[in-house]
Amino acid sequence: MRFDLVLFGGTGDLAWRKLLPALFQSFRHGSLPAGGRIIGVGRGAMSDDEYRALIAQRLAEVEADKRPSDAEFARFAQHLHYLRMDLSQPADYAALRELLQARDADTVVMYLATAPSLFTTVCEQLGAAGLATERTRVVLEKPLGHDLPSNRAINAAVREVFSEAQIFRIDHYLGKPSVQNLLALRFGNAIFEPLWRRENIASIEITMAEQLGVEKRGEFYESTGALRDMVQNHALQLLCAIGMEPPISADADAIRNEKLKVLQSLKRWTPETVSRDVVRGQYAAGQIAGKPVPGYRQEEGVSPTSQTETFVALRTEISNWRWAGVPFFIRTGKRLAGREASIVVHFRQVPHAIYRTPLGAANRLTIHLQPKDGLTLQLMAAAQSQADTGGVQTLSPAALDLDFDQRFGTERVGAYERLLLDVIAGRLNLFVRADEQEAAWQWVEPILETWQQANARGESPRPYVAGHWGPGAASALVARDGHSWMEEF
């Protein structure tokens, strides 16, 4: 299949860190269609060979096992081209049209790895230049808007040019192999479905923790914060995968219909419940891996009086028959004690205990998203050595551990690699529909509004020391339901 992938922002951070390394890996794996052309778009003047040299430099900096040999890159470089464009100038889109028409590819992908403020402009210009044909697909990176009105405005403008079936709103968490295995776990195995409900599950926690700070993205993060950056998209998509009803098929809209129902069933916020069930924090100076790191307010591009949150923990519920009364705890933050993304399903205690067990011990299913990729199921088993316990046997936790990398024995497809190939093939299953995004923004809007009012009163996020697991109030949040975060067991 002949395709053209036009990468707006082709010299930007996302292209260098994620997109071009992913495209190279798909080339290395033999999954990138042979007739493909990748056109990097940027504002600077550059020849094709100069662009290829820049990409070669970037790929030389990735992990050793993902670096190309000289021969590999020479073959991959044949796919790479460059076009200088000012995204506000119609004449530059005319030049792009001439470049694309000269080849007449089967599929043209317009990947907008730019600031969201440019999405509307680029799509309007593509439409005016006659580049929004039935063969065209457009990829929109997050964040898609800053709030509900801006999200609606961007989607409305894009739909003036492209149909919903042509729009690929990307959330790279949905491309992670572990998330794919989460869906397979739920809907490809008969043993879990009878257990996947309120009668058997005590609570569910979703953690997305980073040791890194904001690095050189302080100015961006000041206007974003953890709620917009991680909860509104990644965390809610994971919650949907855990909470959704079985779809009638693997068709994209069948899956997305069920995710939408989850978002619409989440308990709505009031100022009172936000104050009670949401914790916002901001990291202070501390140590990571034994090295001192600055506080958020000392980072480059950050106001010394910033009220932007770098940590969020919250409690919510899905108000339907399957999940009523089960607390879902979401936690995300920067400069935490470890790099960990996981979903933990805590099952209820046995209804009548005939054995001795450690305090709080129960069955747990942990879905590891990063850095490990796999599943751990905690069961209770008889201890090998028994002390005198009055004839009552003692049980201890024992884990069944499945490491997907070891089990399948091959290099696994990365998130962006999988998603880019899906765009080229026209598969929408792992992309977010407009009504999903709108429902997610509707849910977080009251939190943002309550925090805005708190900021006006001079209330700041709770401080936490870098290298710890966030403010103490996050532990108190789950303790009210008699639960603990995973690392506190």
Please give the pLDDT value at position 443: 98
User: Annotated binding residue at 373?
Assistant: no
pLDDT recorded at residue 410 = 54
So what's the pLDDT on residue 391?
63
Mean pLDDT of 220-243: 95
Taking only the tens place, the pLDDT of each residue in 325-379 is 999 999 999 999 999 999 999 999 988 888 888 777 789 999 998 888 888 999 9
Higher pLDDT, 42 or 176: 42
pLDDT at position 179 is: 85
Active site residues: 234
pLDDT average, residue stretch 465-489 = 93
- Where are the domains positioned within the chain? 2-169, 174-412+435-488
216 is in an annotated binding site: no
Binding site annotation covers 210? Answer: yes
pLDDT at 486: 87
Position with higher pLDDT, 70 vs 1: 70
Show the CA angle centred on residue 332, arms to residues 330 and 337, nearest 5°: 125
Q: How far apart are the first and last CA of the chain?
A: 52
Q: Which residues contact 199 (CB under 8 A, 6 or more apart)?
A: 348
- 41 contacts 19 by C-beta, under 8 angstroms: no
309 known member of a binding site:
no
Which amino acid is residue 309, in one-letter code? E
Who has greater pLDDT, 397 or 86?
86
Q: What pTM was computed for the model?
A: 0.93
Q: Residues with Cβ < 8 Å from 212, sequence gap 6 or more?
A: 334, 335, 339
| Res. 18: pLDDT tops 60 | yes
Whether residue 18 is annotated as binding a ligand: the answer is: no
Q: Is 372 annotated as a binding residue?
A: no
Inform me whether the pLDDT recorded for 235 exceeds 70.
yes
pLDDT above 90 coverage of the chain, percent: 76
Residue 123 has pLDDT above 70, yes or no: yes
Q: Return the percentage of the chain with pLDDT > 70, whole number.
A: 97
Whether the per-residue pLDDT at 100 is higher than 90: the answer is yes
Q: Please tell me the class of the 174-412+435-488 domain.
A: alpha beta
**Selected residue with higher pLDDT from 482 and 361:** 482
236-243 vs 434-456: helix crossing angle, rounded to 10 = 130
Q: Indicate the helix (H) or strand (E) that contains 115.
A: none
Q: Which CATH superfamily is domain 2-169 in?
A: NAD(P)-binding Rossmann-like Domain (3.40.50.720)
The pLDDT score that the predictor gives to residue 411 is: 61
User: Which pLDDT value is given to residue 116?
Assistant: 86
What pLDDT score does 385 carry? Answer: 58
Q: How far apart are CA 246 and CA 345, in angstroms?
A: 18
Is 87 annotated as ligand-binding? yes
